[in-house]
Amino acid sequence: MFYRRKFYTVKNDFVEKLNEHFIKTNLPNQLKYGARLVGRWMKENENNTTEIFAIWEYDSYEDYIEIENNVKGDDAHVKRIKDWYEKNGGREHVFTEYILEVKNEALVSTLNKYN
């Protein structure tokens, strides 16, 4: 299995917009191509920001790459993403004003080594 964590630090006034975008746009397209969502959580910070992160599961790293290529190659999905950014002031504006940090990280189990 391969697991990844997608992590955002977002200004609090943008949390609902990002969560709605995830539910309506990103999640359906990821699931369509075979990604499995383990869960998605958020934690409010003291500095008017919120951490939002999701953990995804794939059969292998190669499957993850194939699914990501399919997602990024879905023209209708790419258009929905571009439209969402434009609706919110453009991609550069969103990443300057609302989304302060993004990480996409592989997760390594600490259990497999000792089993």
Mean pLDDT of the chain: 95
pTM score over 0.85 = yes
Domain boundaries, the chain: 2-107
CB count in 10 Å sphere of residue 17:
15
Contacts of residue 66, Cβ cutoff 8 Å, sequence gap at least 6:
none
Determine the average pLDDT of the residues in 82-101: 96
Domain 2-107 class? alpha beta
Q: pLDDT at position 110, please?
A: 85
Determine the average pLDDT of the residues in 66-74: 96
**pLDDT band for position 109 (50/70/90)?**
confident
Collapse the DSSP code of 23 into the 3-class scheme (helix H, G, I; strand E, B; otherwise coil) and give the result: helix
Residue with tokens 């964590």: 5
Q: pLDDT at position 111, please?
A: 83
Q: Is the pLDDT of residue 113 over 70?
A: no
Q: What b/e readout covers 70-95, taking b as 16+ CB neighbours within 10 angstroms?
A: bbeeeeebeebbeebbeebeeeeebe
